[in-house]
């Protein structure tokens, strides 16, 4: 198949999932064409079957707001015609599903199937804003198929948009070879001294991530055990998190690494992963942690309970319960046997339920179905 993927190129989860899916599809012999305004952060252009088509957005004095959606639609048409796309997979509803629909109309009578994957705030925040709700609903209804990354997100989508279109759940996935427990602690010594526990958080530091809660959890843990915290990523709440660390005297044991590439090399060096988002549709990084054998501390919110089995692969607490999460973490770190079992269970759950092979086959079956339905 020839598959176009329209996505955000940034470090966020929707772009990461789109990129990983593209790589998996290409490795199965499909031609995959990424369409975005910049090179997706995890995209490997050296893989056979993967190409990238940049969307340029020319400005004009009248354009106070350069129309990216229109430039994207035009680029999708161009790629569809010249590369012979069968399917366009839009990741994150706005503007990708709308631009895809527009492109499909422009291409008629040539057929282009459109699949949209909803990732999270495209439904829970952006999509619910009155300014965007009708157009998000339109994008959903006009797609040939719509998927959501968790049962939770599918349920919210049905509640908010009451769509006629069926919302299918295709969860996020991991490559168990890439995300795996570390053998030996060679890299770990770069981040923590002998005898210190290592906690890790990765995100785009948006308010929804509640990164100050990560620091609060860590602050309580380190009062009980020697520990360090790695904070990977960047975003609006990073300065506040750094300031809190300085105010608490944690600056020497909390390390902000910024947008570090190859997170899969850092992840397995951690003892615990902390994700205190108050609404996470799925929590891809929590899945990556579990696949790396790292138990997760998080809030019982959104789709996280579908990813983490509280008491087995980590611990979930009500939003804001930093003391509870810290207590769970300390208890686990103090009990070597329980820790080993949680680490093993985390890996087993990630590989058993979210293995790339299974989920990518389901995406392929979906593409084939929409193509068959549309006579393609
Ligand atoms: O929806 C967002 O906030 C953006 C999106 C992204 O691009 O970072 O994140 C969402 O998609 C990820 C991949 O499917 C999920 O793992 C994240 O849970 C989800 N983020 C939220 O729901 C806050």
User: What's the 283 CA to ligand 1 centre distance in angstroms?
Assistant: 7
197-353 shares the fold of 2-173+355-374 = yes
C-alpha torsion sign, points 189, 184, 203, 152: negative
User: What's the 245 CA to ligand 1 centre distance in angstroms?
Assistant: 26
Contacts with 185 (C-beta within 8 Å, 6 or more apart), sequence order: 269
User: What's the 126 CA to ligand 1 centre distance in angstroms?
Assistant: 12
Neighbouring CB atoms inside 10 A of 137's CB total 19
- Cis status of the peptide bond prior to 95, with omega within 30 of 0: yes
Provide the Cα torsion 91, 94, 95, 100; round to 10°. Answer: 50
Contacts with 42 (C-beta within 8 Å, 6 or more apart), sequence order: 15, 16, 19, 20
Per-residue pLDDT of the chain (376 residues; tens, 9 = 90+): 999 999 999 878 999 999 999 999 999 999 999 999 999 988 999 999 999 999 999 999 999 999 999 999 999 999 999 999 999 999 999 999 999 999 999 999 999 999 999 999 999 988 889 999 999 999 999 999 999 999 999 999 999 999 999 999 999 999 999 999 987 666 788 888 999 999 999 999 999 999 999 999 999 999 999 999 999 999 999 999 999 999 999 999 999 999 988 899 999 999 999 999 999 999 999 999 999 999 999 999 999 999 999 999 999 999 999 999 999 999 999 999 999 999 999 999 999 999 999 999 999 999 999 999 987 6
User: What's the 107 CA to ligand 1 centre distance in angstroms?
Assistant: 31
Report angle CA 129, 134, 137 to the nearest 5 degrees. Answer: 105
Q: Using one digit for the tens of pLDDT, what is the confidence trace for 340-354?
A: 999 999 999 999 999
Q: What pairing do the DSSP bridges indicate for beta strands 145-148 and 113-118?
A: parallel
User: What's the 91 CA to ligand 1 centre distance in angstroms?
Assistant: 11
* DSSP label at residue 65: S
For atom 12 of ligand 1, which residue has the closest CA?
Answer: 13
User: What's the 313 CA to ligand 1 centre distance in angstroms?
Assistant: 21
Pocket of ligand 1, candidates 5, 9, 13: which has the most ligand atoms within 8 Å of its Cβ, to mutate? 13
pLDDT at 376: 60
Q: What is the CA radius of gyration of the chain?
A: 21
Q: Which atom of ligand 1 is nearest to the CA of 285?
A: 16
Neighbouring CB atoms inside 10 A of 204's CB total 18
User: What's the 223 CA to ligand 1 centre distance in angstroms?
Assistant: 32
Residue 354 CA neighbour count, 13 Å, CB half: 31
Pocket of ligand 1, candidates 8, 11, 12: which has the most ligand atoms within 8 Å of its Cβ, to mutate? 12
User: What's the 183 CA to ligand 1 centre distance in angstroms?
Assistant: 30
User: What's the 127 CA to ligand 1 centre distance in angstroms?
Assistant: 13
Every domain of the chain and the residues it spans: 2-173+355-374, 197-353
Pocket of ligand 1, candidates 281, 283, 284, 319: which has the most ligand atoms within 8 Å of its Cβ, to mutate? 281
pTM of the model: 0.95
Give the pocket of ligand 1 (CB within 6 Å): 8, 12-15, 17, 119-122, 149, 172, 208, 277, 279-284
User: What's the 65 CA to ligand 1 centre distance in angstroms?
Assistant: 25
Distance CA 116, CA 93 (A): 7
Pocket of ligand 1, candidates 119, 148, 149, 235: which has the most ligand atoms within 8 Å of its Cβ, to mutate? 119
Distance CA 297, CA 317 (A): 8
The per-residue b/e assignment along 226-245, b for 16 or more CB within 10 angstroms, e otherwise, is: ebbbbbbbbbebbeebbebb
Give me the CATH topology for the region 2-173+355-374.
Rossmann fold (3.40.50)
C-alpha torsion sign, points 165, 169, 170, 174: positive
Distance CA 299, CA 288 (A): 17
Residues belonging to the chain: 376
Q: Which atom of ligand 1 is nearest to the CA of 16?
A: 13
Residue with tokens 């619910």: 128
Distance CA 342, CA 308 (A): 11
Q: Using one digit for the tens of pLDDT, what is the confidence trace for 55-71?
A: 999 999 999 999 999 99
Contacts with 62 (C-beta within 8 Å, 6 or more apart), sequence order: none
Pocket of ligand 1, candidates 14, 116, 124, 203: which has the most ligand atoms within 8 Å of its Cβ, to mutate? 14
Nearest one of 65, 11, 59 to 39, comparing CA atoms? 11
For atom 14 of ligand 1, which residue has the closest CA?
Answer: 119
Report angle CA 288, 284, 241 to the nearest 5 degrees. Answer: 95
For atom 19 of ligand 1, which residue has the closest CA?
Answer: 120
Superfamily for the 197-353 domain? Glycogen Phosphorylase B; (3.40.50.2000)
Q: Tell me if 168 sits within 8 A of 147, measured CB to CB.
A: yes
Residue 287 CA neighbour count, 13 Å, CB half: 29
Alpha helices in the chain (DSSP H): 13-27, 68-83, 93-107, 121-124, 133-142, 151-161, 188-191, 211-224, 238-247, 263-266, 284-291, 304-307, 322-334, 336-353, 356-373
- Cis status of the peptide bond prior to 109, with omega within 30 of 0: yes
User: What's the 281 CA to ligand 1 centre distance in angstroms?
Assistant: 6
């Amino acid at each position: 198949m020839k598959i176009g993927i329209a996505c955000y190129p940034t470090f966020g989860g929707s772009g990461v999932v789109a990129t990983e899916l593209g790589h998996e599809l290409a490795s199965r012999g499909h031609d995959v064409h990424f369409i975005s305004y910049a090179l997706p952060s995890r995209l490997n252009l050296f893989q056979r079957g993967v190409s990238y088509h940049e969307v340029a957005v020319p400005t004009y004095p009248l354009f106070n707001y350069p129309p990216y959606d229109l430039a994207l639609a035009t680029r999708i048409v161009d790629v569809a015609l010249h590369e012979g796309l069968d399917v366009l997979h839009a990741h994150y509803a706005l503007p990708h599903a709308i631009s895809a629909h527009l492109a499909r109309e422009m291409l008629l009578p040539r057929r282009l199937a459109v699949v949209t994957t909803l990732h999270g705030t495209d439904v829970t925040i952006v999509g619910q804003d009155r300014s965007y709700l009708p157009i998000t609903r339109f994008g959903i209804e006009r797609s040939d198929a719509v998927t959501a990354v968790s049962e939770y997100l599918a349920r919210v989508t049905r509640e908010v948009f009451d769509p006629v279109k069926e919302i299918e759940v295709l969860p996020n996935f991991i490559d168990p070879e890439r995300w795996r427990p570390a053998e030996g602690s060679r890299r770990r010594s770069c981040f923590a001294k002998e005898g210190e526990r290592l906690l890790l958080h990765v995100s785009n530091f948006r308010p929804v991530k509640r990164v100050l809660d990560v620091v609060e959890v860590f602050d309580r843990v380190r009062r009980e055990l020697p520990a360090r915290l790695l904070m990977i990523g960047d975003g609006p709440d990073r300065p506040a998190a750094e300031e809190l660390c300085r105010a608490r005297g944690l600056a020497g044991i909390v390390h902000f690494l910024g947008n570090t590439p190859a997170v899969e090399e850092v992840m397995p060096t951690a003892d615990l992963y902390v994700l205190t988002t108050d609404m996470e549709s799925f929590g891809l990084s929590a899945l990556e942690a579990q696949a790396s054998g790292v138990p997760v501390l998080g809030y019982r919110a959104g789709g996280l309970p579908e990813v983490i089995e509280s008491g087995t692969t980590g611990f979930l607490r009500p939003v804001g319960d930093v003391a509870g999460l810290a207590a769970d973490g300390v208890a686990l770190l103090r009990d070597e046997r329980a820790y080993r079992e949680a680490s093993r269970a985390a890996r087993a759950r990630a590989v058993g339920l979210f293995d790339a092979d299974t989920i990518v086959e389901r995406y392929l079956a979906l593409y084939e179905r929409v193509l068959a339905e549309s006579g393609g």
